[in-house]
Structure 1
């Protein structure tokens, strides 16, 4: 069985928007959960959903906040 992984590339402007989405989402979680591990997890969620075609920044923030609300495992 062969697994194919598709990669998504983002231009500089899109990366800047995704960074802003992360910053907004981090501000919406409890301070004690704003660790580098939680931020990395939230960033992965944002990039994954953006790669799946979600362009709505509100939706991306919502997904990231849900993922980071309890901190990283």
Structure 2
């Protein structure tokens, strides 16, 4: 028996997560708004959403924290 640990998000939820990312990106310094930082922030949002966090404000907060200093 195998289990699929990959969370399944429907299209509407993915659209909501994209909006969360857009909001979060607007809250970091312009110089950090790079594709790498955005990818890191998106990964943070998906990871927390998969972990059960559904509050958009909390997801934005986690993403902003992750992207505040840009990507390494």
- TM-score of the aligned structures, taking structure 1 as reference length: 0.93
| 1:48-73 alpha-carbon deviations (Å, 9 max, x no partner) | 00000100000000000000000000
Q: Which runs of structure 2 are paired with 1:1-73 in the superposition (5 Å)?
A: 6-73=5-72
The Cα shift of 1:5 comes to 6.7
The Cα shift of 1:21 comes to 0.1
Gaps of 5+ in 2: none
CA RMSD across the alignment: 1.1
- TM-score of the aligned structures, taking structure 2 as reference length: 0.94
User: Which runs of at least 4 in structure 1 moved beyond 2 Å after TM superposition?
Assistant: none
| 1:5-28 alpha-carbon deviations (Å, 9 max, x no partner) | 711010000000000000000000
